[in-house]
Chain A
Amino acid sequence: MMRLPWFSFRTPTTVEEAARLLAAEGPRAMLIAGGTDLLPNMKRRHQTPSMLVSLRHVASLKKIANGSGLALGSGLTLNEVVADARVREKYTGLWQAAAQVATVHLRNMGTLGGNLCLDTRCSYYNQNYEWRKAIDFCLKKDGETCWVATASKRCVATSSTDSAPALIALGAAVRLVSAQGEREVPLDELYRNDGIDYLARRSDEILSEVRLPDAAGWKSTYWKLRRRGSFDFPVLGVAAAIRTARDGTVEEARIALGAVSSRPFLTKGGELLIGKKLSDAAIAEAGAKVASAAKPMDNTDLDLYWRKDVVPEFVGYALRELRGDDMRSTRLRISRQDFSG
């Protein structure tokens, strides 16, 4: 049986108390919410925190609040997010993304905040200690070479969060709280293209809330590529959100990609659509533009060249769905489930 290393454990009941504990213990303290990302990593000795600060008992992180848009507490489990009717109706892309994370059990445990802060993944890294020893470790943890790209000075581990690209396309921001105060950051600025230092969040900060702008007039979607209908992390995530005029002309559009870089990011594909109708030609043009930004590496499941090759198709699925095409049979084949909303 895989065992956890030792740690001390704290159960604060407020964000402020949690922030104080983090500040006092320093970087060797880590937050734990659902535990679905951290505990496997600890069992594999990726992380060996001296202290775990549990967020499970912080009631304020479980809130969903209406405002100009919607504010989601970071401690909501993914299935709690999925179960919320407002999310499903107005922020369909987030709903589809959250509903496709891992498995039903893991979504009952894992939180929205945890998925946003998910450690980057790499097939040279997400291995047991003994395995990593057999390759003399890697740049991300305990070693000096990035085995994915041996000339690389930068770790190229893959961002594997589903909810982040969906939320970036929706224009979300996050609130970060520390003992020194709090700040709000647009979600796409939370991420850095570095497999090790992948978050702009400081180690003493707590991601407490996700703020979604008003969704009036917007439609959104998320398409996830993975081998199986459940369990698997994305090897490509395409999130799109558009606002159109009555005649179908695109007024605003955002297309974000996940799992093809060390961070989820907004592409330039959305800008190409503005002022146009979602014709097949416009969709194809956007697809090509988005694909040019995808940089999959050979560190996940499935062939990396193929993963890049299919980006335009997946962008097409997303935009055609937003155009109103019936994509249910395609969705069923790709996702093995019907996420038509």
Chain B
Amino acid sequence: MNAKKRFDVIGKPRRRVDGRAKVTGLTRFADDVMLPRMLHCKLLRSPFPHAVIESIDVSRAAKHPGVHLVLSGKDFPITFGILPVTQDEYPLAAERVRYVGDPVAAVIAKDEQTACEALDLIEVKYRQLKTISDAEEALATEEPRIHAYGEQGNIHRLQAYEFGDVEKALAESDHVFEDLFFYQGNTHAPIEQHASVAAVDGEGKLTLWSSTQVPHYIHRALAKALQIPAAHVRVVACPNGGGFGGKCDLHNHEIVVSKAALVLGRPVKICLTREEVFYMHRGRHPVLMRLRTGTTKDGKITAMHTQTLLDGGAYGGYGAASTFYTGVLQTTTYEIPRYKFDACRAFTNKPTCGPKRGHGTPQPRFGQEIQLDKIAEKLDLDPAELRLNIAAKPNSLTANWLKIGSIGLAECIRKVVASSDWKGKHRKLPEGRGVGLACGAYLCGAGLPIYWNKMPQSGVQLLLDRSGQVTVFCGSTEIGQGSDDVLAAIVAEVLGIDTYDVRCITGDTALTPVDLGSYSSRVTVMTGNAAIQAAERVRELISRAAAEHLETLPENVGFAQGRVFRADDPGKLMSFREAIVLAEEKFGTLGAVGSYSPPRAPGRYKGAGVGPSPAYSYTACVVEAEVDKATGWISVPRVWIAHDIGRTINPVNARGQVEGSVYMALGEALMEEQVFRRLPPKLSNALVHKIPSLLEYKSLTSLDMPEVFTELVEDPDPNCPFGAKEVGQGPLLPVVPAVANAVYDAVGVRIDELPITPDKVLAALEKKARGQVPRVGPEHFPKVPYPDPILVPPPWEGGDGDAINRPRSRPARKEVAA
């Protein structure tokens, strides 16, 4: 199938299958679910960042007219957490609150207004504890511990790996570059506020409609949290009004409304306010980084050492994975023969961080790409040439045993160099204007599910009947990225029909086969491969039935444009519907399933499960910036970006993903930040989100968005459906450092931290004028008790992908849920 030269559907610009619903307002988001007798839920949240709950009295609230139920921590004795290793959250906190916004009680009432009034009647007595406001403070604070589990003190996770002797390689390098970077935290801010509706169906079973990217994970976790059989729970992922990673966790409110619906036997809805969405967060970790990189005289990398310190917030969430991701994918873009990374995640009294578009990798990418710019300048090389010279090779292994297939990186670089007139602009534009270049790579699906199992990661079921209709069932979730369209396109391509003739039923655990969800850019590859398998199986049946009628062999039956025909004599044909009838006559009810499991990764060391992927996408980007020297004011008029997508399924959607990534990246680069206010400690323990609103959390408006010139590079990957790789996340990565590099090209100052704001630029320009180092960025990296690394020789130094030591110095870890 992948060898097929001409496509009827794949690669053609089309109206997406869910396009009509979205422009008519018919798409039913979770808050649009309105059910008879529905009640409304509001959560009482902690006003303190860190406190012990001494008592909760809900009696007055329960008596308030219109209130049906009040729940508190004692109603939820069981912890939950999205990762099996971090079951550290309670739906409602019973004993301890860990950030301003931590839910402690819930009121279910006839309407939201009444529920809000009743919240005021709940009396909670708190005993405040020391506020831990950032990662450095967490490192310095042994007690109180935010959680009783973790590595030590307030350190949640420590990871250390070394692939080859990095210190030796650095010592032998012509140059060693050491830089510190800081990537500020930021959040998804989907325009849709999270909403959930829970109801008990006619059989007494629970249904939850929710704004979630991961109905399967919610299904499992909800059954555990509520202690009811998963088979009696149905989770329907409504189309998400934007996800970006923020709807990948099981959220407190999803459990609370489910419980309430089970208790009351009535539908219960919650829709978070915008402020509460900022509290749910699970967004980009603030990460402090130290990068040491050795190079040869001609700019080849000899070794790299990445150290990261993540400010994790109050709970684990996906944090253990995020921590890995700040290290493991550094090796996928360029040839790095020896590599070491140390990572640490700390608990702090703030909303929990987690996966946002690019999960854990934009931060070190920011550091690496700025450092490469510095290296290029020092070695007097063109930054584009330097990168072309060190780009990772196709069909290779990285130092940390990741298997890379196709790579269109060089082509991406060449494209943006040409389209942006890089050679004519870089270091040549007048003062105040500049261009910056950067690259990136990203996963096409995480190699492993978040809980250990050997089952497929994506399943697709097809149902065809005599009416000619083709229905595809899949657990994948439409979050705006176009997953339904990918499914329909692949099935339509294989069966030679139009996408309009394919009906998609997705994201419903009662109706659809398991798919792990819309995260880690896995849907096109994993769901797509499963869909191809299902469609080919059903095509095989139809071919056999049609072959008899067409008096030929099944191999000689063709499918195109809604017809089934003899490939050697296309005039002999029938309609697709007629072919289905023949197949249904011959085989009975028609259907097929397909499933997909990623190939086994070559790494065998403990921890090797994070990083492998069926394929990696590549992106290169050039950003043009204008910087006013008197004020530091930054404008970005143009961005050129080329993305190696493997194969484009629908170019309209693919371009939208690239441009949306540029949009989000520019926000992170220039203005978006999830930051907090610590009031003067002598006067208050308060630690509040500084700007939990869409007015003050700055997201680019149409007037702030530059022109974007997008090119798609097609280098089909054999592991991918028709060769198609991801496009939803990777294109974000290079844009952020390209902005920093462009600012440097414009006015010669380095802003090594995000966001890059005019006050920082002006401060750096003033330093420059005073003859100081023209840089704003972190000045020191705190002492972090990284353990001795797990030693794994890289593939070219022998070894079998396993570790050769068992480090001893690791602090004893207590895995006890708090």
A and B: bona fide binding partners = yes
Binding site for B on A (CB under 8 A): 1-3, 123, 126-128, 130-131, 133-136, 145, 147, 150, 227-232, 301-303, 305-306, 309-310, 313, 333-334, 336-337
- Cβ–Cβ contact A133 & B704, under 8 A: no
Binding site for A on B (CB under 8 A): 45, 47-48, 100, 112-113, 116, 271, 273, 275, 626, 628, 630-633, 635, 671, 677, 679-680, 683-684, 686, 688-693, 695-696, 698, 700-704, 757-759, 762
A310: contacting residue among B631, B698, B703, CB under 8 A: B631
- Cβ–Cβ contact B47 & A130, under 8 A: yes
A134: contacting residue among B47, B273, B701, B702, CB under 8 A: B47
- Cβ–Cβ contact A123 & B691, under 8 A: yes
B688: contacting residue among A126, A135, A333, CB under 8 A: A135
B633: contacting residue among A128, A150, A334, CB under 8 A: A334
- Cβ–Cβ contact A228 & B690, under 8 A: no
- Mind listing 11 A-B residue pairs with CB under 8 Å? A126-B693, A128-B275, A134-B688, A136-B684, A136-B686, A150-B683, A227-B671, A227-B698, A231-B695, A303-B757, A309-B762
B758: contacting residue among A232, A306, A336, CB under 8 A: A306
- Provide the bound-state CA to CA distance between A245 and B703, in Å: 38
A147-B704 contact given A128-B275, A306-B762, A333-B635, CB 8 Å threshold: no
Residue of A nearest to B274 (CB): A2
- Cβ–Cβ contact B695 & A232, under 8 A: yes
Residues of B within 8 A of A123 (CB): 677, 690-691, 696
- Cβ–Cβ contact B100 & A134, under 8 A: yes
Ranked nearest first, the 7 interchain pairs of A and B with the lowest CB-CB distance are: A229-B703, A306-B759, A303-B759, A336-B703, A134-B47, A333-B635, A310-B631
- Cβ–Cβ contact B701 & A231, under 8 A: yes
Residue of A nearest to B694 (CB): A231
A230-B112 contact given A2-B273, A131-B275, CB 8 Å threshold: no
Residues of A within 8 A of B116 (CB): 3
- Provide the bound-state CA to CA distance between A135 and B685, in Å: 9
- Cβ–Cβ contact B692 & A127, under 8 A: yes
- Cβ–Cβ contact B273 & A133, under 8 A: no
- Cβ–Cβ contact A150 & B680, under 8 A: yes
- Give, as a whole number of angstroms, the nearest-CB distance from A37 to chain B: 12
Residues of A within 8 A of B695 (CB): 126, 231-232
B692: contacting residue among A131, A230, A306, CB under 8 A: A131
- Cβ–Cβ contact B696 & A301, under 8 A: yes
- Cβ–Cβ contact B273 & A228, under 8 A: no
- Provide the bound-state CA to CA distance between A75 and B626, in Å: 40
- Give, as a whole number of angstroms, the nearest-CB distance from B521 to chain A: 29
- Cβ–Cβ contact B688 & A128, under 8 A: no
Residue of A nearest to B272 (CB): A1
- Cβ–Cβ contact B701 & A228, under 8 A: yes
- Cβ–Cβ contact B671 & A337, under 8 A: no
Residue of B nearest to A303 (CB): B759
- Give, as a whole number of angstroms, the nearest-CB distance from A35 to chain B: 16
Residues of A within 8 A of B677 (CB): 123, 135
Residues of B within 8 A of A302 (CB): 757-759
- Provide the bound-state CA to CA distance between A130 and B704, in Å: 32
- Provide the bound-state CA to CA distance between A228 and B755, in Å: 14
- Cβ–Cβ contact B631 & A313, under 8 A: yes
Residues of B within 8 A of A309 (CB): 631, 762
- Provide the bound-state CA to CA distance between A303 and B113, in Å: 38
B686: contacting residue among A128, A134, A232, A334, CB under 8 A: A134
- Cβ–Cβ contact B692 & A3, under 8 A: no
Residue of A nearest to B40 (CB): A1
- Cβ–Cβ contact A135 & B762, under 8 A: no
Residues of A within 8 A of B691 (CB): 123
Residue of B nearest to A145 (CB): B683
- Cβ–Cβ contact B704 & A229, under 8 A: yes
Residues of B within 8 A of A147 (CB): 679
- Provide the bound-state CA to CA distance between A130 and B633, in Å: 35
- Cβ–Cβ contact B45 & A333, under 8 A: no
- Provide the bound-state CA to CA distance between A2 and B275, in Å: 10
- Give, as a whole number of angstroms, the nearest-CB distance from A287 to chain B: 11
- Give, as a whole number of angstroms, the nearest-CB distance from B729 to chain A: 25
Residues of A within 8 A of B47 (CB): 130, 133-134
Among B273, B628, B696, B702, the most chain A Cβ lie within 10 Å of the Cβ of B696
Residue of B nearest to A6 (CB): B113
- Cβ–Cβ contact B704 & A336, under 8 A: yes
* Contacts A123-B691, A333-B635 supplied; 7 other A-B pairs, CB < 8 Å: A131-B689, A135-B679, A135-B684, A229-B702, A231-B695, A306-B762, A333-B633
- Cβ–Cβ contact B271 & A1, under 8 A: yes
A230: contacting residue among B113, B273, B701, CB under 8 A: B701
- Provide the bound-state CA to CA distance between A150 and B680, in Å: 9
- Give, as a whole number of angstroms, the nearest-CB distance from B680 to chain A: 6
- Cβ–Cβ contact B759 & A230, under 8 A: no
- Provide the bound-state CA to CA distance between A131 and B676, in Å: 12
Residues of B within 8 A of A3 (CB): 112-113, 116
- Cβ–Cβ contact A305 & B100, under 8 A: no
- Cβ–Cβ contact A306 & B671, under 8 A: no
Residues of A within 8 A of B635 (CB): 333
- Provide the bound-state CA to CA distance between A136 and B684, in Å: 9
Residue of A nearest to B766 (CB): A309
Residues of B within 8 A of A333 (CB): 626, 628, 633, 635
- Give, as a whole number of angstroms, the nearest-CB distance from A328 to chain B: 14
- Provide the bound-state CA to CA distance between A251 and B633, in Å: 33
- Provide the bound-state CA to CA distance between A230 and B273, in Å: 23
Residues of B within 8 A of A336 (CB): 703-704
- Give, as a whole number of angstroms, the nearest-CB distance from A132 to chain B: 9
- Cβ–Cβ contact B696 & A313, under 8 A: no
